[in-house]
Amino acid sequence: MRNKSGQSADSVDENRRSFLKGAMLSLFSVAIGGISLERFFVPTTRNVPVTSYDGKYPTALLVDPDNNPITASEIPYAVPSSSSYPILVFNYPLQDEPNILMRLRNVTIPNAIHVKNSQGGIDSITAYSGICQHLGCTVPLLDYHPGNSIPFEAQLIGYTKSNWPTYGLIYCKCHGSQYDPVRGPHNLYN
């Protein structure tokens, strides 16, 4: 979809192309195959952890299994009715270090990549380490859950739709920690 100025509605704001992850990650482009399921992507330089630097952090180009660069418009996102897990998982900088890539609808996260959505709102694309800070549990034990897919384990400790953010939380099933993707990867609820 294109806006009045002829720009793609999902075009990336070039001025805001900084990207969060546990250790921070810069991407040249991002994307995926359009379904709300976890998929695994690898940097083009498989088994070569770092290809270049942006002056601060290693950079990597994410590609799909057919080696096509991922584009922002292909990244799945949660809507209020989402009951699935709209994330992508990619390994970075090493092949055994998973990261969670997500697109949060109508949520503006400082320092994330900001993308205009088809409704005229702004989405944030951000990535966090897929390894929990505590015991090192990895996805899918550490996973993103939008407001309509509160994990059963989280419900047992008192979470309901009234206190689970609509945009969702990252939840570690190993012992129940919750991370708020809007407030940063270090925001630990429990």
73-81, 86-94, 128-136, 153-161 -> range binding ligand FES (CB under 6 A): 128-136
* 46 part of the interface to ligand FES, by CB under 6 A: no
Q: What are the helix (H) ranges across the chain?
A: 152-156
Q: How many residues bind ligand FES (CB under 6 A)?
A: 9
Should residue 137 be labelled a site residue for ligand FES when binding is judged by CB under 6 A? yes
Shortest approach of ligand FES to residue 141 CB, angstroms? 7
**Cα(165)–Cα(147) distance, integer angstroms:** 6
Q: Which of 131, 5, 144 is nearest to 87 (CA)?
A: 144
Shortest spacing between CB 78 and ligand FES, in angstroms:
22
Q: Are the CB atoms for 132 and 188 separated by under 8 Å?
A: no
Q: Does residue 134 belong to the site contacting ligand FES (CB under 6 A)? A: yes
- Mark residues 87-126: x for contact with ligand FES by CB under 6 A, - for none: ----------------------------------------
- Please select the residue that binds ligand FES; options are 2, 46, 175, 186, rule is CB under 6 A: 175
Is 174 an interacting residue with respect to ligand FES (CB under 6 A)?
A: yes
Of positions 1, 35, 79, 135, contacts ligand FES by CB under 6 A: 135
Q: Which stretch binds ligand FES (CB under 6 A): 15-23, 52-60, 97-105, 169-177?
A: 169-177
Q: Which two tokens stand for residue 31?
A: 């994307």
Encode burial over 123-158: b for 16+ CB neighbours within 10 A, e otherwise.
bbbbbbbbbbeeeebbbeebbbbbbbbbbeebeeee
Beta strands in 38-184 (DSSP E): 40-43, 52-53, 58-60, 62-63, 87-91, 98-104, 113-116, 122-129, 142-145, 169-172, 177-179
Q: Contact positions toward ligand FES, by CB under 6 A? A: 132-135, 137, 172, 174-175, 177
